[in-house]
Chain A
Amino acid sequence: MVGKKILLVEGNDDEYVLRHLCRSRDVGLIDEIRSHGGVEELLRSIPVYLNFSGEGDIVGIVIDADTDLAKRWRSLRDRLTNLGYPSVREDPDPQGTVLEPPADKLLPRVGIWIMPDNRTAGMLEDFLLFLVPPDSRLYGHVQASVNSIPEGEQCFKETDKSKALIHTWLAWQEKPGRPLGTAVTARFLDPNVTQVDILVAWLRRLYV
């Protein structure tokens, strides 16, 4: 029976980026992407989505590792184990996690991708930095600029540095200041890099 294929994400940025990535890479598998106004609300909602899914539904989750990947994975793993998913790995699968439900329960197939790459701490913006051409001299200038902010003038936290970098990069493109998702479609960020290949492969594994 054909069910609903949904992707659960933290916030609007995640939603738009994933939508544009899927479009750029011709991935037409997802019925709906839903954002939740933050990581806490997403974590709270996961058991409800999973418990109340219908037959044939598939649920994907994209969530930031933030500063402590192991801790983030543990909180997901605990929730999934409590719901009844058997043998959830100790660490996230570097290729993206896909879990089949136990046969005796009404749970859906579920997939998890921990931004940026299931292996390191970070967030959506760190993943997007992979889409910046590595040998770009402009990007070299972006890094130098951000790194040479005068003492005491830096307003953002170190943990948000990737956000500063990516938005600075986008500020200096042909159409300056495009939002993250549109930037992907406009090719200011290259959707054909290896890291996106892995993400797309995960989506295909999950939803087909």
Chain B
Amino acid sequence: MPSFDVFLSHNSSDKPTVRALKQALAERGLKCWLDEEQLRPGVPWQDLLEQGIEDSGSVVVCVAADGLGPWEKGEMEAALRLAVKDDCPIIPVLLPGVPSAPELPGFLGSRTWADLRGGLDPEGIDRLIRGITGNEPEEPVKPGIVDLTIEGFRGFRELKLEGLGRVNLITGRNNTGKSSLLEAVRILASGSPPATIRSILIHREEDVFDPDEQSRQGYAEIALQISTLFHGFPELSGTWKPILVSAGGSQQPTKLMLTLDWFSEERTENGTRKYVPLRTKPFDEEDAIPALTIDTGDSERIFLLENLRKDYYGPRPLQPEYGRPRSTPCIYISPYGGESTVRLGTLWDRIALSDLEKRVVEALRIIDPSISAVSIVGGDRPRHPRTAIVRSGKIQRPVPLRSFGDGLNRLFEIALSLVNAKDGLLLIDEFENGMHYSVQLDTWRMIFKLAAALGVQVFATSHSWDAIEAFQKAAAETPEEGMLVRLARKGEDIIPTVLREDGLRIATRNSIEVR
């Protein structure tokens, strides 16, 4: 096991640059052998050099403006022997001042070099480190939903969106379907559509499910409750056009079709229950059992509506097997915020002590640079729910995140959710809630940056002009695709109007209100 990661071989004339290079590599966690530090008086230097090379995992040969001096030839021969013997990488590095077509001796010239002639910039150092460690950086995942179609769902007769970007802001007046759009995406991306549907109905206070009510007279009632999901509020006796949500993009296209069907229950020979579709409208049939047929293209399942009554924490929770195996993470942030420390605790547990945790702290520091760490603790005693605590440079002991005010709490929720949505989807309902306009721009910047780095696609809703303006500014600043979709009612339909990068810039420059 080599005790050094990198042996820095160089011509003595460019010592300051080489020192700077060592510093940059050390900051990235790489240990470097550099002669001025490692050579001790009284010991023959050539032996030490050979030893140094043998002790290192790789050799970086610094080529300066005046080329390689005689000093390096000895090292080069040793390095060559080592490279051949141990498969140790040798990387020539061109330092600032080197002419455009440097003359490198045979064995160096045939290798790929790292070009730092422009200076020791982060990208160049990245490339060098890749050469040293052999690790290719991950390409972040492209946005999964580029085209989205929603039919027959809530207020949408037919909504088609094309060319969605990495961060998409949905705006529009009240009751124009902003939250419904998020709901449709949630159901589509969910590993268990019924569980998501139940959660949606509860949040919209459409749930009058009484868990104690077991009588079958409730069937019509439940069917009516779920009718609110279907476009046009169909009557029980009327036709229910199916709900269809489909998305195409960089990954496999996905689609989901929901229809309400009626069944009657039969017992088979071995006593198990079987459900048989009914042909006629069962308006007055007491034995008619309503169920959702969930068709995902590659599977079709039936979900009895009465199962919606079951409480998640009850004895028989909704089974995830009703849905497709979860393929993409999809995290939803509700408008109310801060209502579920349990939920945040779960999200925290998934990323604690990982690199993603650092990202969350970085995000908090945007609003309060004095913050050095955050954690979620508690949950071990009945009256001690899990809460977030924070270390701040200004205070000696950890304090509850709550005490830092709404803005920081909302930002924490967003950042924590974002890192949990890696390679998947993040949905933020009513972005501006809990945030003063002064932090909204920085929050958007954080979202754009982090979403790009972690391959997350974001859908957010807002009707606040401040939030929209801040979104426009942040979108204009980054190369990442940002898109604004304004929903507006025209008669029976909801019509989308789209603004992309260029349009966003024009709108920002001229303060054009786009809500």
Are A44 and B506 in contact (CB-based, < 8 A)? yes
B490-A48 in contact (CB<8A): no
Report the bound CA distance from A121 to B510 in whole Å: 27
CB of A167 closer than 8 Å to a CB of B: no
Is B506's CB under 8 angstroms from A52's CB?
A: no
A36: interface (CB < 8 Å): yes
Task: Return B462 CB to nearest CB of chain A, in Å.
Answer: 15
Chain A interface, number of residues (Cβ within 8 angstroms)? 15
Interface centre among A34, A41, A48 (most CB of B within 10 A): A48
Q: Within 8 Å of chain A (Cβ to Cβ): is B507?
A: yes
- Whether a CB of chain A sits under 8 angstroms from the CB of B377 is no
A55 CA / B173 CA spacing, docked (Å): 11
Kindly state the separation between the CA atoms of A55 and B497 in the bound complex, as whole angstroms: 14
One digit per residue, 1 when the CB lies within 8 angstroms of any chain B CB and 0 when it does not, for chain A 42-62 equals 001101110110110000000
B486, A48: Cβ atoms under 8 Å? no
Contact A41 B509 (CB under 8 A): yes
Q: Quick one: given A52-B499, A106-B497, are A45 and B514 in contact (CB under 8 Å)?
A: no
Interface contact A106-B506, CB-CB below 8 Å = no
Partner of B499, one of A41, A44, A48: A48
CB contacts (< 8 Å) of B507 on chain A: these are: 48, 52
B512 and A106: CB pair below 8 A? no
The verdict on A34 contacting B510 (CB below 8 Å), with A48-B503, A104-B490 known, is: yes
Q: Are B510 and A45 within 8 A (Cβ)? A: yes
Residue on A nearest B171 in the bound complex, by CB: A52
Is B513 positioned at the interface, with any CB of A under 8 Å from its CB?
yes
Instruction: Across the interface, name the chain A residue whose C-beta is closest to B486.
Output: A52
Q: Within 8 Å CB of A51, what residues of B?
A: 497, 499
How many B residues have CB within 8 A of the partner chain? 14
In the bound assembly, the distance between CA atoms of A84 and B270 in angstroms comes to 65
Evaluate contact between B488 and A41: CB separation under 8 angstroms.
no
Task: Give every chain A residue within 8 A of B514 (Cβ-Cβ).
Answer: 48, 52
Q: How far is the CB of A153 from chain B (nearest CB, A)?
A: 39
A52 touches B513 (CB 8 A): yes
Residues of A close to B506: CB separation below 8 A: 41, 44-45, 48
**A-chain residues with CB within 8 Å of residue B488 when the two chains form the complex:** 54-55, 106
Does B509 lie within 8 Å of A48, measured CB to CB?
no
Expressed in whole angstroms, the minimum distance between the Cβ of A79 and any Cβ of chain B is 13
Chain A residues near B510: list those with CB within 8 A.
Answer: 34, 36, 41, 45, 48
Residues of A within 8 Å of B220, CB to CB, are none
Residue of A nearest to B484 (CB): A52
Contacts of B495 in A (CB 8 A): 105-106
Q: Mark A102-144, 1 if CB is under 8 A from B, else 0.
A: 0011100000000000000000000000000000000000000
- CB-contacts of B473-515 with A (<8 A): 486, 488, 490, 495, 497, 499, 503, 506-507, 509-510, 512-514
How far is A44 from B505 in the complex, measured between Cα atoms in Å?
11
B512 and A49 form a contact (CB under 8 A)? yes
Docked CA distance A48–B490 (Å): 19
Give Cα A51 to B498, complex, Å.
9
Least CB separation from B512: chain A residue:
A48
0/1 interface trace, chain A 20-52, chain B, CB 8 Å (1 if under): 000000000000001010000100110111011
Within the assembled complex, what's the spacing in Å between the Cα atoms of A36 and B514?
17
Chain B residues lying within 8 Å of A106, measured Cβ to Cβ, are 488, 490, 495, 497
A105 / chain B contacts, CB cutoff of 8 Å: 490, 495
User: What is the CA–CA distance of A47 and B514 in the complex, to the nearest angstrom?
Assistant: 12
For residue B299, give the distance in angstroms from its CB to the closest CB of chain A: 38
Q: What is the CA–CA distance of A55 and B495 in the complex, to the nearest angstrom?
A: 13
Which residue of chain B has the shortest Cβ distance to A34 in the bound complex? B510
B512 touches A52 (CB 8 A): yes
Return chain A residues, CB-CB under 8 Å to B503.
47-48
Distance of B30 from chain A, by nearest CB (Å): 49
Instruction: Please give, as numbers and ranges, the residues of chain A lying within 8 Å of B490 by CB-CB distance.
Output: 104-106
| Nearest-CB residue, chain B, relative to A47 | B503
Q: In the assembled complex, how far is the CB of residue A155 from the closest CB belonging to chain B, in whole angstroms?
A: 32
The residue among B495, B497, B514 with the most chain A CB atoms within 10 A of its own CB is B497
**Which chain B residues lie closer than 8 Å to A36 at the CB level?**
510
- Closest CB in chain A relative to B120 CB, distance in Å: 40
Q: Whole-angstrom distance between the alpha carbons of A34 and B506 in the complex?
A: 14
Determine how close the nearest CB of chain A comes to the CB of B158; give it in whole angstroms: 14
Question: A residues within 8 A CB of B497?
Answer: 51-52, 106
Kindly report which residue of chain B lies nearest to residue A4, judged by CB atoms: B513
Please report the C-alpha to C-alpha distance between residue A34 and residue B507 in the assembled complex, in whole angstroms: 13
Q: Report Cα–Cα, A47/B499, bound state, in Å.
A: 10
A36 to B497, CA, bound (A): 23
| CB-contacts of B205-232 with A (<8 A) | none
In the A-B complex, the 9 residue pairs with the smallest Cβ-Cβ separation, listed nearest first, are A52-B514, A51-B497, A45-B510, A48-B506, A48-B507, A48-B512, A45-B506, A44-B506, A106-B488
Known pairs A44-B506, A52-B513, A106-B495 / 13 extra A-B pairs, C-beta < 8 Å: A34-B510, A45-B512, A47-B503, A48-B499, A48-B503, A48-B507, A48-B510, A48-B514, A49-B512, A51-B499, A52-B497, A52-B507, A54-B488
Q: 17 A-B contacts, Cβ less than 8 Å apart?
A: A36-B510, A45-B506, A45-B510, A47-B503, A48-B506, A48-B507, A48-B512, A48-B514, A51-B497, A52-B486, A52-B497, A52-B499, A52-B512, A52-B513, A52-B514, A54-B488, A104-B490
